[in-house]
Amino acid sequence: MDSCPCIKNIILLDSEGNRVAVKYYSDEWPTNSAKEAFEKALFSKTQKTNARTEAEIAMFENHIIVYKFVQDLHFFVTGAEGENELILVTVLQGFFDAVGLLLRGNVDKKEALENLDLILLCLDEIVDGGVILETDANAIAGKVASHSVDAAAPLSEQTISQALATAREHLARSLLK
Amino acid sequence: MAQPLVKKDDDRDDEADYSPFLGIEKGAVLQEARVFNDPQLDPRRCSQVITKLLYLLNQGETFTKVEATEVFFAVTKLFQSKDIGLRRMVYVMIKELSPSADEVIIVTSSLMKDMTSKTDMYRANAIRVLCRITDGTLLTQIERYLKQAIVDKNPVVASAALVSGIHLLQTNPEIVKRWSNEVQEAVQSRAALVQFHALALLHQIRQNDRLAVNKLVSSLTKGSVRSPLAQCLLIRYTSQVIRESANTQAADRPFYDFLEGCLRHKAEMVIFEAARAITELNCVTTRELTPAITVLQLFLSSSKPVLRFAAVRTLNKVAMTHPMAVTNCNIDMESLISDQNRSIATLAITTLLKTGNESSVDRLMKQITNFMSDIADEFKIVVVEAIRSLCLKFPLKHRSLMNFLSNILREEGGFDYKKAIVDSIVILIRDIPEAKETGLLHLCEFIEDCEFTYLSTQILHFLGIEGPKTSDPSKYIRYIYNRVHLENATVRAAAVSTLAKFGAMVDTLKPRIFVLLRRCLFDNDDEVRDRATLYLNTLGGDGAVVQTGEDVKEFLFGSLDIPLVNLENSLKNYEPSEESFDIYSVPREVKTQPLAEKKAPGKKPTGLGAPPAGPPSTVDAYEKLLSSIPEFANFGKLFKSSAPVELTEAETEYAVNVVKHIFDGHVVFQYNCTNTIPEQLLENVTVIVDASEAEEFAEVASKPLRSLPYDSPGQTFVAFEKPEGTPAIGKFSNMLRFIVKEVDPSTGEAEDDGVEDEYQLEELEVVAADYILKVGVSNFRNAWESMGADCERIDEYGLGPRESLAEAVNAVIDLLGMQPCEGTEVVPNNSRSHTCLLSGVYIGNVKVLVRLQFGLDGPKDVAMKLAVRSEDESVSDAIHEIVASG
């Protein structure tokens, strides 16, 4: 019996349901078309919900999915039916906030694609083969950014807390719109 | 990045459509990857190319073997660069490419160097990459470093090593188990996640050692765990220990205090985990539940949807077994009916339906009516099912609940939703006699305007059974006959059958029914005409009013007790000839084969050299196979074939399983053999069976297998004679005997000379259950009543201490080998008593029905009342004998 919390996948889609970055840790979706079908169904099921202030949750095909949206990006984390929902949401929040830090608050599809390397490294630092590696956004972003390839605008110029502040500010502004 | 910026035609928002990867192409990127080979590496450019490659993979693009190898070799060149960011991308890329064993060697030394580097980031990532791609042999070389890394000062490095250990434990358990000292040390780490990973690994290493897990839990619950995630793990392990500990008496349940203490933890994650663990305890008492319910109730009014969902989902489960414990939350629950998140709202509704008492039903129904209009079908189905069980609980309320169901039946909805409603009404009609007439009328109204042919025919069929038994059958005729006018051919045919049923059952209606049926003779569909003609002739519609004979009723409306799948197969195999199709030749065995087959093949890849003569998987195929062997051709009709029984351990040299074929006077053992050694060819394979412990059996024939090459299964058979029609039982010991020949692996040629050899197999038993066919009945109560009490035998048995009620139920089902009916094999959690219905056919084609009533007698002892009805009292006695001796 494997009682260790297990993440089945982490998915980042755009506002039309297209992939920005995904990572599957479970072999329940053996082919790319199975994955795409899952993402499509997931997207259409959650599209209409409002997951912008608080993370939302849904049961779907015997999985628990927690998700959160910002701008034109949709973040999803999938776990098994019996999983502790709050653990899943911790992972989601870690991913969500880390991306916010890494993109310095400008969290949208364009920025995410332009910094896809950061997003992919971020995924790599959160979960390893389904096992949760790190959930603290500062730690995740720190690990990714300490060797950011983007030399032109090094993140090291601003401290993490500054970046977090920028992200918050940005979020607040987007909410007021 | 020199990407051509392709502009889309629609001028909505150019900027939004911009992507750095627009128009990206695999071939071009692979070309670009040549920069990895430059003597002067440009780290920035290389990173960009890797990102593009990863983007392609992420979008579902695949590389051919050659492409992947090429990219892999190019990427390995990048280890020369000292750029940290680039190295990080290289690690991710190598993991994505998952190189083959011979390629891994190329990067091993570079990764091992990184593993001992001074940079923490290199150490951590190199460990993760190396452990992901390595095999067992390399692992022994790096084991020393991994052990060091587990206790590394840097938490990232320690976590990397521990998580890799968790993965490696699946493939190389013996190596990882040697690390337990270091892992134990890491459990005490100050870093939260190191503690979590170490605890997970330590538990997995020890999970088969109950005592060690027990010790681990009791030492850690004293309070040295800081990380919330680790605390959650500890809660899971603790409840596992509680579950396994023999003592379930609530008074001194070990560790309950620990779980209760966790309810006051500062992390919500831990609080919830503990609350959930408490609600899932075996035989949990109300006193134990209360604190958990209280914290869950607080979560119900949280602003976070996830918390509300988690709480309501858990309470919903609790409500199934302890509805009273949840009633305190009803007010919070009711406010959740209007929750934005429809999953939460549905769970709240269904919980309320479970916990509601008779007086609150009406108020609840009013609330639900508003709610139903704005949720999706899938949620509506859940609600309908909850209402059905509520109605069964409070039969007095059937009027308002039935009204609710008929109202929603009239509204818009998809097939599954409508079917759920119809099914519910049907069940209510069956189980609540007072609801019958209103329910039937609701169904009649529904088919007046029903767009689903399937549902119309189902309802018409049901009307045919229930309608004639009502006080005034004539009022249904109009609804039914309307179908004949207005519907498609399928429904018309069903309506004709239903009319005929009324005619057959209600003599006073007969003349009027005949008039209607005669009109149907002019229908433009032949099936409808045929049915009408058949009924008119058999029911005597051409002459005077006659009493309809029992046999005619049985012929026309009796239940078909043959599995439809088998009938379909038999009909497909039937070749038109002089001999007409014999319905009694259809096997009655319920097909359970595919499940057993799935378990049987072990881990063998089926792709390579797919067996040409694979073991036949269906009863049908077995029959064909056996009748094709002349020695067995005169044994008569195959009564039953068992599921394959493994006679060897998994992963031995030769894998053998056996299928027992039972005939009236014979038993045939079919040994399915697989040779798993590529260097061997087996010839003249037989199984030597010693039947000294099976006195009633005498060996009559044996059919050896001429040759058994590597990885292509073959069969050998041994047949026994036994007294006709009796359930003889016995034990058989088996020895595989064969001539083994060496095979040259390079040419595949076998040597000429072979050596005779033997291989001991496990014993095999023929048990009473082998003589009973799993044959289900659709309506157990009807079958039970119609069987009558003439040959009924009732007795009570004490089953002694059992692990749980469910375990006892399954043990008896397995012992009898009969088909559980109406889902009664499932025992709800925490129930103290259970009734299980079984049906089957005993050898000699005698139908048997069994009603088992289980009850818990004291904490563990299970008592059982066994009632058997069959067509032959000696068979009823035989069933009791099986249970008494089993």
> What is residue B9's predicted lDDT score, i.e. its pLDDT?
43
Between residues A106 and B14, which one has the greater pLDDT? A106
Flag if A56 and B306 touch (Cβ within 8 Å): yes
Angle CA(A102)–CA(A103)–CA(A104) in degrees, nearest 5? 90
> What is residue B605's predicted lDDT score, i.e. its pLDDT?
36
What is the tens place of the pLDDT at every residue in B694-743?
888 888 888 888 888 887 888 888 888 888 777 788 888 888 888 888 88
Q: Is B240 on the interface with A (CB under 8 A)?
A: yes
What is the tens place of the pLDDT at every residue in A31-67?
999 999 999 999 988 888 888 888 999 988 889 999 9
Q: Dihedral, CA atoms, B494, B495, B499, B504, nearest 10 degrees?
A: 10
What is the tens place of the pLDDT at every residue in B836-879?
888 888 887 788 888 888 887 777 788 888 888 888 888 888 88
Per CB-CB distance under 8 Å, the chain A contacts of B340 are 49-50
The identity of residue A54, as a single letter, is: E
Distances (CA, A) of B205 to B44, B222, B227: 43, 21, 20
**Residue from B8, B130, B167, B269 whose CB has the most chain A CBs within 10 Å, to mutate:** B269
> What is residue B284's predicted lDDT score, i.e. its pLDDT?
82
Flag if A114 and B20 touch (Cβ within 8 Å): yes
Distances (CA, A) of B301 to B289, B351, B704: 19, 16, 72
Q: Which residues contact A176 (CB under 8 A, 6 or more apart)?
A: none
> What residues 251-280 of chain B have any CB closer than 8 A to a CB of chain A?
268-269, 272-273, 276
Flag if B16 and A109 touch (Cβ within 8 Å): yes
Q: Across the interface, which of A35, A87, A124 has its CB nearest the CB of B92?
A: A124
Flag if A90 and B166 touch (Cβ within 8 Å): no
Q: Predicted confidence band at A21 (pLDDT cuts at 50, 70, 90)?
A: very high
Q: Dihedral, CA atoms, B558, B559, B565, B571, nearest 10 degrees?
A: -10
Q: Is B54 on the interface with A (CB under 8 A)?
A: yes
Considering only A4-13, B108-117, B600-609, which range has the smallest mean pLDDT?
B600-609
Quick one: which of B416, B420, B359, B358 has its CA closest to B385?
B420
**Residue from A20, A38, A84, A92 whose CB has the most chain B CBs within 10 Å, to mutate:** A84
**Residue from A32, A108, A126, A131 whose CB has the most chain B CBs within 10 Å, to mutate:** A131
> What is residue B218's predicted lDDT score, i.e. its pLDDT?
85
Mean pLDDT of B426-455: 86
Mean pLDDT of B224-249: 82
Mean pLDDT of B355-381: 77
Mean pLDDT of A138-154: 63
In sequence order, the β-bridge partners of residue B669 are: B660, B718
Q: Across the interface, which of B55, B83, B229 has its CB nearest the CB of A116?
A: B55
* Enclosing H/E stretch for B469: none
> What is residue A146's predicted lDDT score, i.e. its pLDDT?
64
pLDDT at B308 over 50: yes
Between residues B547 and B817, which one has the greater pLDDT? B817
pLDDT at B408 over 70: yes
> What is residue B482's predicted lDDT score, i.e. its pLDDT?
87
Flag if B200 and A21 touch (Cβ within 8 Å): no
pLDDT at B562 over 80: no
> What is residue B568's predicted lDDT score, i.e. its pLDDT?
81
The alpha-carbon gap from A97 to the nearest alpha carbon of chain B, in Å, equals 17
Quick one: tokens of B720? Answer: 């026994």
A169: Cα within 13 Å, side-chain hemisphere: 7
Quick one: which of B259, B342, B253, B257 has its CA closest to B305?
B342
Mean pLDDT of A2-25: 89
> What residues 183-222 of chain B have any CB closer than 8 A to a CB of chain A?
193, 196-197, 200, 203-204, 207
Per CB-CB distance under 8 Å, the chain A contacts of B272 are 84-86
Top-ranked range on mean pLDDT: pick from A129-138, B252-261, B702-711, B791-800: A129-138
Residue B34: CB atoms within 10 Å: 11
Q: Across the interface, which of B44, B232, B240 has its CB nearest the CB of A84?
A: B232
Q: Across the interface, which of A4, A22, A110 has its CB nearest the CB of B233?
A: A4
Q: Which residues contact B725 (CB under 8 A, 6 or more apart)?
A: B664, B665, B843, B844
Q: Across the interface, which of B84, B89, B313 has its CB nearest the CB of A117?
A: B89
Question: What whole-number distance in Å separates Cα of residue B215 and Cα of residue B725?
Answer: 56
> What is residue B551's predicted lDDT score, i.e. its pLDDT?
64
Q: Predicted confidence band at B590 (pLDDT cuts at 50, 70, 90)?
A: low
> What residues 297-316 of chain B have any CB closer than 8 A to a CB of chain A?
303-307, 309-310, 313
> What is residue B742's predicted lDDT score, i.e. its pLDDT?
84
Question: What whole-number distance in Å separates Cα of residue B63 and Cα of residue B856?
Answer: 61
First to last CA, chain A: 49
Flag if B340 and A50 touch (Cβ within 8 Å): yes
Quick one: which of A77, A93, A97 has its CA closest to A141?
A97
Return the residue matching tokens 């039903």: B361
Mean pLDDT of B326-352: 86
Quick one: which of B819, B825, B815, B826 has its CA closest to B777?
B819
Between residues B552 and B531, which one has the greater pLDDT? B531
Average confidence score pLDDT of chain B = 81
What is the tens place of the pLDDT at every residue in B772-814?
887 777 677 778 887 877 788 888 888 877 777 888 888 888 8
Q: Is B375 on the interface with A (CB under 8 A)?
A: no
pLDDT at B27 over 70: yes
> What residues 56-115 of chain B have any CB closer than 8 A to a CB of chain A?
58-60, 62, 83-89, 91-92, 95
Quick one: which of A101, A96, A114, A111 has its CA closest to A146?
A101
> What is residue A2's predicted lDDT score, i.e. its pLDDT?
52
What is the tens place of the pLDDT at every residue in A74-107?
999 999 988 999 999 999 999 999 999 999 888 8
Between residues B446 and B769, which one has the greater pLDDT? B446
What is the tens place of the pLDDT at every residue in B33-51?
888 888 888 888 898 899 9
The predicted model scores a pTM of: 0.62
Flag if A87 and B269 touch (Cβ within 8 Å): yes
ipTM: 0.83
Quick one: tokens of B556? Answer: 């026309």
> What is residue A85's predicted lDDT score, i.e. its pLDDT?
93
pLDDT at B559 over 50: yes
pLDDT at B611 over 50: no
> What is residue B882's predicted lDDT score, i.e. its pLDDT?
80
Q: Predicted confidence band at A24 (pLDDT cuts at 50, 70, 90)?
A: very high
Mean pLDDT of B629-640: 78
Residue B194: CB atoms within 10 Å: 26
> What is residue B249's predicted lDDT score, i.e. its pLDDT?
52
The alpha-carbon gap from A169 to the nearest alpha carbon of chain B, in Å, equals 21
> What is residue B252's predicted lDDT score, i.e. its pLDDT?
61
**Residue from A26, A59, A120 whose CB has the most chain B CBs within 10 Å, to mutate:** A120
B809: Cα within 13 Å, side-chain hemisphere: 26
Q: Dihedral, CA atoms, B12, B14, B17, B22, nearest 10 degrees?
A: 140
> What is residue A131's predicted lDDT score, i.e. its pLDDT?
92
Q: Annotate B647-674 with DSSP letters as a single string.
A: -S-TT-SEEEEEEEEE-SSEEEEEEEEE
Question: What whole-number distance in Å separates Cα of residue B468 and Cα of residue B474?
Answer: 8
Mean pLDDT of B341-359: 83
Residue B880: CB atoms within 10 Å: 18
Average confidence score pLDDT of chain A = 84
Flag if B21 and A113 touch (Cβ within 8 Å): yes
What is the tens place of the pLDDT at every residue in B535-554?
888 877 555 445 556 666 66
Per CB-CB distance under 8 Å, the chain B contacts of A32 are 60, 62
Mean pLDDT of B443-466: 88
